[in-house]
Amino acid sequence: MNDVVNILAIETSCDDTAAAVVQNNKVLSNIVSSQKIHELYGGVVPEVASREHDKLIVPVVRKALKNSGLRLNQINAVAYTRGPGLMGSLLVGTSFAKSLSLSLNVPLLDINHMHAHILSIFIDDGKDIPTFPFLALTVSGGHTQLVIVNSASDFNLIGTTLDDAAGEAFDKSGKLLGFEYPAGPKIDKIANDGDPNKFTFTKPNVAGLDFSFSGLKTNFKNFILSKDKSFIEDNLNDICASLQMTIIDVLIDKIKVASKRFKINQIVVCGGVSANSQLRSQLKALDDKEIKTYVPEIQYSTDNAAMIGICGYYKFLDSNYGNLKDQSIAKYPLS
Ligand code: KG4
Ligand code: ZN
């Protein structure tokens, strides 16, 4: 097997059209084109997202390849997001990746988006990385999951949301405040100048390691509806800071419970919400002799194809892929 593995990766699971080239654990290029059109609708419109992917996939892949400095004939495998995600959006990336791998006659690597978020922590950019086993909290727009990661291919789900995801709690609350989708980054920014203890919102009390954010959503909605416009405007920073702190408290509490229960002290927090500045500083504050936390660089927290490439690299190293001498495409899962 080659010592150097170049993987072209494609991610189209939701509203970001992304392509990257990775060389082993290193990222050579990472292009993300976020579809702005959904801001008009206050959320992602699946049919619109697939059509946008269809328009963007070729220029985005071209740019990723150009920025990597490699040529197509140096690509050893094509990795793509198989799921979870929006069916129409996934199909665009899947068809493109399959066609490309067939034409290059290189392996096609189907990647689970949630696993890729977790393995994004292994992108080699000079930061500390955890050793197996570790605990991962994946907080994105569609998922909130606690996972024990025993190896790059062994993931054990130990907790998940019963309703809304943490990212949805940000996005839906932000929508009530009139913010465009996705509202998480804006709430993060506005909360910076606010008092997180000014207002108290319902903190879900779910036993065990599962999560629930729908009660908070209802409580926040009722709060907003009970106030007039000028009150909300005058207190916007404090409202955002208090909401954000409620969500973060839930996440931090669950991390502590899981870490204690499974006696695992290395915690990776990944997915879009891990870009949140307050969550990052709260995690840093957790770090002591007992717990060590890890977060990906911000550009690898939110959806990107570099994480698909890294996940692909681990899959390629797996004997089912990398050790095969005959890399004919017929040997790889095409359906
Ligand atoms: O992982 P991701 O990019 O896409 C999915 O797989 O869903 O996560 C997107 C989510 C959105 O809900 C967005 O509001 C949230 O991540 N997000 C943030 C921040 N940046 C993105 N939430 C809070 N603070 C942020 N800075
Ligand atoms: Zn994601």
Write down the residue that tokens 């990647």 correspond to: 111
Same domain, 193 and 262: yes
pLDDT of the residue at 329? 41
Q: Whose CA is nearest to atom 10 of ligand 1?
A: 141
Determine how many CB atoms are found less than 10 A away from the CB of residue 215: 16
Is residue 140 in contact with ligand 1, taking CB distance under 6 Å? yes
Q: Whose CA is nearest to atom 20 of ligand 1?
A: 185
Name the residue of 111, 140, 180 to mutate for ligand 1: max ligand atoms within 8 A of Cβ.
140
The answer to the question of residue 105 being in a domain is yes
Same domain, 136 and 284: yes
Task: Band the pLDDT of 138: cuts 50, 70, 90.
Answer: very high
The per-residue pLDDT for range 20-37, each reduced to its tens digit, is 999 999 999 999 998 888
Q: Domain total for the chain?
A: 2
The answer to the question of residue 331 being in a domain is no
Same domain, 142 and 110: no
Q: What are the distances in angstroms from CA 54 to CA 82, 87, 108? A: 16, 13, 20
Length of the chain: 335
The per-residue pLDDT for range 301-321, each reduced to its tens digit, is 999 999 999 999 999 987 555
Domain containing 188: what range?
Answer: 129-296
Name the residue of 112, 173, 192, 302 to mutate for ligand 1: max ligand atoms within 8 A of Cβ.
302
Q: Are 265 and 222 in contact (CB under 8 A)?
A: no
pLDDT of the residue at 320? 57
The answer to the question of residue 1 being in a domain is no
Q: What's the burial of 255, exposed, middle or buried (CB within 10 Å: 0-12/13-18/19+)?
A: buried
Is residue 120 in contact with ligand 1, taking CB distance under 6 Å? no
Is residue 141 in contact with ligand 1, taking CB distance under 6 Å? yes
CA atoms within 13 A on the CB side of 162: 13
Q: What angle do CA 57, 303, 31 make, to 5 degrees?
A: 45
The answer to the question of residue 249 being in a domain is yes
Is residue 296 in contact with ligand 1, taking CB distance under 6 Å? no
Q: What's the burial of 268, exposed, middle or buried (CB within 10 Å: 0-12/13-18/19+)?
A: buried
Same domain, 60 and 98: yes
Is 97 in a helix, a strand, or coil? Answer: helix
Ligand 2 centroid–CA 243 distance in Å is 22
The per-residue pLDDT for range 101-112, each reduced to its tens digit, is 999 999 999 999
Is residue 81 in contact with ligand 1, taking CB distance under 6 Å? no
pTM of the model: 0.94
